[in-house]
Amino acid sequence: MLGPNGAGKTTSIGLMLGLRQPTAGQARLFGLPPTDRRARSRCGVMLQESGTTSVLTVREIVDVFRAYYPAPLPGERAIAMAGLGAQAGARVGTLSGGQRQRLYFALAICGDPDVLFLDEPTVGMDVEARRAFVTSVQTLAAGGKTIVFTSHYLREAEELARRIIVIDRGRVIADASPQELKGAVPGKKITLVTARPLAREALAGLPARVLDVTGERASLLSNEPAAVLRELFRRGVDVVDLEVTGADLEEAFLALTRREEAGA
């Protein structure tokens, strides 16, 4: 679930978990109300802005959470999957922000849940923690787990998700695979390097949106890259290097939210 701050991602997760009550409609987990203990026993949860008591050790708090679930993972395994093996005996209060985030991941997976809800899981993680997290998520997904996560890092969604739901201000803007999402928006990015510094006017009137012009470099978004290039060559722009790529999710996302605004 992808969207900017304030899009409604955390609210959506809260509704799915029964932490919030919908004003209309209903949420169901495994066909049960989300507050049902049988449904909760199959969920692992990582929330933003939640805490744990700080005087217990990592191993102790993981063991407490394991007792909530009918068939938990071995504690050491959950801790290792979260990349906290070296801190298993440390008190929660002594962990760094990134380690704490890993602990919440360990608490989310220790019940061996069928579905994981992760709200902004990588916020505060350092590069190494993030890499360990990505590996664990991929392992879990390969093992048949469903993982619902929110992010405003588009790369992260692109890297991890099979289905991306883009939301903004409480509304679904797109619901598609990363590939489909790319195909659905003005899809190509043209990056140019010219022999001489390029004036913005030289790019006026092209069937493209100019993203950036800096000295000899320019980048444009377009649905018709061939027409753009033909026109550039006709105008005698001295291109020395050229790259045409599929627009990444960040650009696709910007295009989607702007279209919404234009339509509203």
Partner 1 sequence: MSADARGATTAAGPARRAVAPLGRMLLTQARSEIRTRWRIPAFSVTIVALPVLFFTFFGLPYVKQTLPNGTNLGAYLVASFAAYSVGSVMVFGFGIGVSTERGLKVDVLMRATPLPPLIAILAKIINALAYALLSLVVLIVYAVIVGGVRQDLVVWADMVARLLAGSVPFIALGFAIGYTCGPNVAPAAANLVYLPLSFASGLFLPLSQLPGFVRAVAPYLPAYHYGQLAWSAVGAATEPMPVALAWLAGYTALFLAIAFRAYRREESRKFG
Nearer to partner 1, 45 or 229 (CB): 45
Stretch that binds partner 1, among 62-70, 157-165, 172-180, 251-259 (CB under 8 A): 62-70
Q: Count the Cβ atoms, other than its own, within 10 Å of residue 41.
A: 15
> Which of 4, 6, 70, 183 touches partner 1 (CB under 8 A)?
70
Q: Is 53 exposed, middle or buried (0-12, 13-18, 19+ CB in 10 A)?
A: exposed
We find the least distance from the C-beta atom of residue 11 to partner 1, in angstroms, to be 8
Letter for the amino acid at 104?
A: Y
> Which of 7, 29, 45, 232 touches partner 1 (CB under 8 A)?
45
Q: Applying CB under 8 A, does 64 fall inside the site for partner 1? A: yes
> Which of 52, 209, 217, 259 touches partner 1 (CB under 8 A)?
52
Q: Which of 26, 27, 25, 53 shows the shortest CA–CA distance to 40?
A: 27
> What does the alpha-carbon distance between residue 99 and residue 87 come to, in Å, rounded to a whole number?
9
Q: Report CA 4 to chain centroid distance, whole Å.
A: 11
> Which of 5, 25, 31, 51 touches partner 1 (CB under 8 A)?
51
3-class SS string, 48-65: CCCCCCCCCEHHHHHHHH
> Which of 55, 172, 184, 195 touches partner 1 (CB under 8 A)?
55
**Pairing assessment for the beta strands 43-46 and 115-118 based on DSSP bridges:** parallel
Binding-residue pattern over the window 196 to 235 for partner 1, x denoting contact by CB under 8 A: ----------------------------------------
DSSP 193-236: EESSPPPGGGGTTSSSEEEEEETTEEEEEES-HHHHHHHHHHTT
Nearer to partner 1, 46 or 164 (CB): 46
In sign, the C-alpha dihedral spanning 152, 153, 158, 162 is: negative
Helix (H) or strand (E) holding 255: helix 249-263
Nearer to partner 1, 48 or 191 (CB): 48
- Kindly list the distances between the CA atom of residue 263 and the CA atoms of 215, 233, 255, 259, 260, in Å, as whole numbers in the listed order: 34, 34, 12, 6, 5
Stretch that binds partner 1, among 56-64, 148-156, 204-212, 250-258 (CB under 8 A): 56-64
Residue 211 near residue 222 (C-beta atoms within 8 A): no
> Which of 4, 6, 33, 53 touches partner 1 (CB under 8 A)?
53
The residues in 114-173 that bind partner 1, with binding defined as CB under 8 A, are 117, 143-145
Q: Applying CB under 8 A, does 71 fall inside the site for partner 1? A: yes
Residue 46 near residue 82 (C-beta atoms within 8 A): no
Q: Applying CB under 8 A, does 112 fall inside the site for partner 1? A: yes
Binding-residue pattern over the window 10 to 39 for partner 1, x denoting contact by CB under 8 A: -x--x--x-xxx---------------xx-
Q: Point out which residues bind partner 1 (CB under 8 A).
A: 11, 14, 17, 19-21, 37-38, 40-41, 43, 45, 47, 49-56, 60-61, 63-65, 67-71, 104, 107, 111-112, 117, 143-145
